[in-house]
Chain A
Amino acid sequence: MSSVCIIAEHQSGKLKKSPLNAITFGKDAAQKIGAELCVVVIGHNISGVADELKSYGASKIVLADDAGLANYTAEQWAHVAAEAAKKYDAVLVGMASGTTGKDMMPRVAVKLNAGMGSDIIGFDGKFFTRGMWAGNALATIEITTPVKVVTIQTTAFAAAEPVEGESILEQLDIRLPQTKTRFVEMRETVSERPDPTEASVVITGGRGVNGAENFKIIEKLADIFGGAVGATRVAVDAGWVPNDLQIGQTGKMVAPDLYVAAGLSGSIQHQAGMKNSKVIVAINKDEEAPIFQIADFGIVADLFKVIPEMSDLLEKEMS
């Protein structure tokens, strides 16, 4: 039986959230083309991840566990993913459209001699849908090769829910190829919060926050959601927060499910970095601030009053 293969990403031995959205896509696609769903996990010491994946209704969980795969390199992972796809007779191979997916899936496509579609938001069994021109147009595309490779826009698909029954776990033994790149070392900035580009909730503070110390209330609200902290250029320039948190034209581009803009006017430079967020909540004392023009919910009030209240209510609600 042919299959739909979804590659699942994980970090520090834990399953990431994005594969669950990709699994929803995969299940739906498998049903539409009459194939089985295989979820492929690549790495080392990740049986926990594989076990966790068993409960989402895939036919098979394919585990490629090798010490040589402990650290991600596009060349090796693409090789393993392509070999898995061949072994399980995949007609469609997909992965969430994150940094890793964008990095390795084109290579997988080359290895499988497959056509590729990126940032897919829909599939009807034959045609794929994808956003173009910064989301201003939708394109319907057909991939005409026997095997098709896609990256999946996670925001277009709900996260898969656990179902009854367990998937079969199969080990995949693959000889790792000689590669031209090798992993040397990993240096990361230690942050307990996710990066703004990856978080589903981003709380951003601007000039109105007025000081590094005051950013704590922004951070607290972000932590309640497990979200990220963002900042405007002014806040970064003033040294209140590190500059890798800057959102905007010359900073990071984000599109989370929820974007809270606190104490920022929403200059066009800032809007350029966050206008694609699903729900935008603006808090500003100045009711003429341009941010209210693009906000779904606007609160004209002092952020020092509103945000702590929000945090308290949310904490109560969640506990």
Chain B
Amino acid sequence: MNPVAMGLLLFISLSAFTLSVVRRFLPLFVMQPDVRWDNPKERVVGILKYFFGQLRFMRPFERVHGIAHIMIFWGVLVVTFSTIQMAGRGFVPDWHLPGFGDTGLGLTYIFFKDLFTLSIMTGCTMAFANRVFFRPSRMILSLEALVILNWIFWMMAMDLLYESTLFILSPEHPETQAAFLGMFGKNVLMGMGLSSDSSLTAQLHAIGSWGHLMLGLSFLNYLPYCKQFHEITSLPSLYMRSLKEKGALTPQNLEDEDAIFGVGKIEEFSWKRGIDMYSCAECGRCRANCPAFLTDKPLSPMALIMDEREHLKKKTNLMSQAAVLKFKKDPEKAAEVLEQWDGESLVGDVISEEAIWACTTCGHCTSNCPLMIEHVDNIIDMRRHLVQVESRFPKELTQFFKGCENLSNPWGLASNTRGDWFKDLGVQTPEENPDFEYLFYVGCAGSFDDRYKKVTIALTKLLQKAGVNFVCLGDNEMCCGETARRLGNEYLAQHMINFNLEMFDTIGVKKIITACPHCFNTLKNEYPQFGKKFEVIHHTEMIWELTRKGAFKGGAKFNGKGSVVYHDSCYLGRYNDLYDIPRDIARFVPGVKLVEAERNRRTSFCCGAGGGRMWMEENIGKRINTERFEQLYATGAKTVATACPYCMIMLDDVVREKGMQEEVEVVDLAQMMLNSLEDQ
């Protein structure tokens, strides 16, 4: 190999690559600050699990693709050392990394290198076949993906050619002891008539090594311009992943006068969102279970990130100029430069408002993304802009916001009737019982909606049966702020949150029980952002805890219909990992035969009401609740057990719409438990 040629090749390709990377990363410096390097220990553990461990590729919906990715990924990690050695041999014949070569370590490495070369080539073939022949619906058939797979495949084929011909040329090479794949290649080629003294062998050897290196280095330069850039960004992206509670949205500082309210322009996103955009490998795992995408809404979390990335690329020159000005300590000029943009706008043109409002915040996208891209926060950022800056939102939400602003409930019902449900139940208020142990935070649906009031009452009776010392706030309770927050109305949400916090403080709350997973998640994961932490207990946890303590003897018998299917609430399951307890409660009721829907637990399908969708009309595509009900009905179950007011109302609405009240029943686990006990 010619050292000059090798030197030039390396210099040119590595310089070009560096320039490309700078071009990609420079714009991120005008994006918003975000601290993503706290808690290094937890971050390193995450790298071990999700980067090296590839944990998110070992999941349902994967079939062959996850395995193929692991085969290629680990393969590339191993083979890279060999590629570095090959480049070194352009300058020093037979050069090897320190400790490698004709040593135990070196030969072991060669064995694994061959193994993983095989692994990469097999992985590429599997992925290629999967894309072309099986076409999983989450994926798009992109030419780019097929080119990339071929590129990697042929890069490895060249490496194999290099190794096989090496062994023909020097049969005594020490690596022949370990390189089983190279030996196999040697035998095949010799079978085809190649020998150590034919000039063709030497030529093929050169083609193999230069081919591998040139394909590799050109691929490196292609990376920043295609979806495969995630090879570079995935490590930093995973290291700087969000460590906040899964169910918590980023709080917005309303006191800061310079604060940007939500995101209307790409540079108003945190810089981490920019890395997310580059990291998206278009695998579509985010949309494999996306309720909006699967019911033909104009939202695909994958397209969201891809479209934002394209927009970021279009704005790269302007943002880079601004970044340089910012480095020169001239932020005014930088802002002026950014103002010059007269192309498409992020909200409206790049991402349609319909897409922004279609999200149910069910969180499947983020929880299934191998690179942990934060789709939900991304969408809420834009909702915040629409609501707080432009005051633009679906008109149905006017009533929701008004109701919450004036009377702290979505329907705008008289707030002094909030506690009417417990008038005759002997429930005490904190004034009547200042030494309470638990606050039962009822929430809006539990206080006002006739269907969910039954659940509130059932839970009250269970708590009373078990002798729990609890109180309810009645009309001193405000909406928890969950939905307003997810609708982008952070100001309204924080108003209610702060009111509740003051109230909790005044009466000395330590433990809170709630029957609504949305209240539960917000009280538990979001209230601490405002300085107060409580022990927050979902009603299923409470019922199960009491059951285990023997407060309820096994009931007489399940008096519902048929077998029971439990529908996981997103905010209970995916966001708070409560999967088993609800099922334990269902099984505790004698006579219950529990079945599972195909989409369950972490891959459960949203009922369609989350993220404020409850309060909007759903006129595009199939209704999400109908789709979910049909999935549940397909199990043959006649009782749908829920643990969330939204889920219950949405699914019960389908039962009513279809006129199936006689056949199917939607009940909350608290009701199921109480019914079986009362039958005794």
* Chain A residues packing against B (C-beta within 8 Å): 133-134, 136, 207, 234, 237-238, 249-250, 253, 267-269, 271-272, 275, 290
Contact = CB atoms under 8 A, between A and B. Distances in A.
A268 B615 contact: no
Contacts of B407: 133-134, 136
B399 interface: yes
A275 B399 CA distance: 13
Contacts of B616: 250
A253 B403 CA distance: 13
A134 B413 CA distance: 8
Nearest to B623: A237
Contact of B413 (A207, A253, A267, A272): A272
B617 A250 contact: yes
Contact of B450 (A207, A250, A268): A268
Contacts of A238: 657
A268 B402 contact: no
B354 to A, nearest CB: 16
**Most B CB atoms within 10 A — which of A133, A234, A249, A290?**
A249
Interface in B433-468: 448-451
Closest 4 pairs between A and B when the two form their complex, measured CB to CB: A250-B396, A272-B411, A290-B450, A133-B406
Contact of A237 (B396, B451, B657): B657
Given A136-B407, A234-B656, A290-B450, A249 B413 contact: no
B412 interface: yes
Given A272-B412, A272-B413, A250 B656 contact: no
A275 B396 CA distance: 17
B129 interface: no
B630 to A, nearest CB: 16
Given A249-B396, A272-B412, A134 B656 contact: no
Contacts of A134: 402-403, 406-407, 412
A272 B615 CA distance: 12
Contact residues on B (Cβ < 8 Å of other chain), bracket? 20 to 34
Given A249-B400, A269-B411, 17 more contacts: A133-B407, A134-B402, A134-B406, A136-B406, A136-B414, A234-B656, A234-B657, A238-B657, A249-B411, A250-B396, A250-B399, A250-B616, A268-B448, A268-B449, A272-B403, A272-B412, A275-B413
Given A134-B407, A136-B407, A290-B450, A272 B399 contact: yes
B412 to A, nearest CB: 5
Nearest to B394: A250
Contacts of B451: 267
Contacts, number: 46
Interface string B605-617: 0000000000111
Nearest to A249: B399
Contact of A253 (B399, B415, B656): B399
Contacts of A250: 396, 399, 615-617
Nearest to A288: B450
Contacts of A136: 406-407, 414-415
B411 A267 contact: no
Contacts of B414: 136
B479 to A, nearest CB: 14
Interface string B251-271: 000000000000000000000
Contacts of B399: 249-250, 253, 272
Contacts of B400: 249
Given A253-B399, A290-B450, A271 B411 contact: yes
Interface string B548-590: 0000000000000000000000000000000000000000000
B615 A249 contact: yes
A272 B445 CA distance: 13
B656 A207 contact: yes
A207 B659 CA distance: 9
Contacts of A269: 411
**Most A CB atoms within 10 A — which of B412, B414, B448?**
B412
A253 B412 CA distance: 12
11 contacts: A134-B407, A136-B406, A136-B407, A136-B415, A249-B411, A250-B617, A268-B411, A268-B413, A268-B449, A271-B413, A272-B399
Contacts of A249: 396, 399-400, 410-411, 615
Interface string B382-410: 00000000000000100110110011001
Contacts of A133: 406-407
B272 to A, nearest CB: 35
Contacts of A275: 413
A136 B416 CA distance: 10
A275 B448 CA distance: 14
A237 B615 CA distance: 16
A134 B406 CA distance: 8
Nearest to A134: B412
Contacts of A234: 656-657
**Most A CB atoms within 10 A — which of B402, B448, B617?**
B617
A284 to B, nearest CB: 13
A264 to B, nearest CB: 11
Nearest to A132: B406
Nearest to A273: B399
A238 B656 CA distance: 12
Interface string B410-435: 11111100000000000000000000
Contacts of A271: 411, 413
Contacts of A267: 449-451
Nearest to B448: A268
A237 B407 CA distance: 29
Contacts of B656: 207, 234
Nearest to A210: B659
B423 to A, nearest CB: 14
A213 B659 CA distance: 19
B528 to A, nearest CB: 31
Contacts of A237: 657
A268 B407 CA distance: 15
A136 B615 CA distance: 22
A290 B411 CA distance: 15
Contacts of B415: 136
A224 B669 CA distance: 48
Nearest to B445: A268
A263 to B, nearest CB: 13
Interface in B615-665: 615-617, 656-657
Contacts of B402: 134
Contacts of A272: 399, 403, 411-413
A234 B625 CA distance: 14
A70 to B, nearest CB: 30
A197 to B, nearest CB: 13
B273 to A, nearest CB: 32
A250 B615 CA distance: 7
A128 to B, nearest CB: 20
B205 to A, nearest CB: 72
A136 B415 CA distance: 9
A136 B410 CA distance: 15
A268 B414 CA distance: 13
Nearest to A253: B399
A207 B617 CA distance: 18
A286 to B, nearest CB: 11
A195 to B, nearest CB: 16
A241 to B, nearest CB: 15
A250 B411 CA distance: 10
Contacts of B412: 134, 272
Nearest to A289: B450
Interface in B63-111: none
A294 to B, nearest CB: 10
B224 to A, nearest CB: 46
A251 to B, nearest CB: 8
Contacts of B410: 249
Contacts of A268: 411, 413, 448-450
A267 B399 CA distance: 16
Contacts of B615: 249-250
Nearest to A275: B413
Contacts of B403: 134, 272
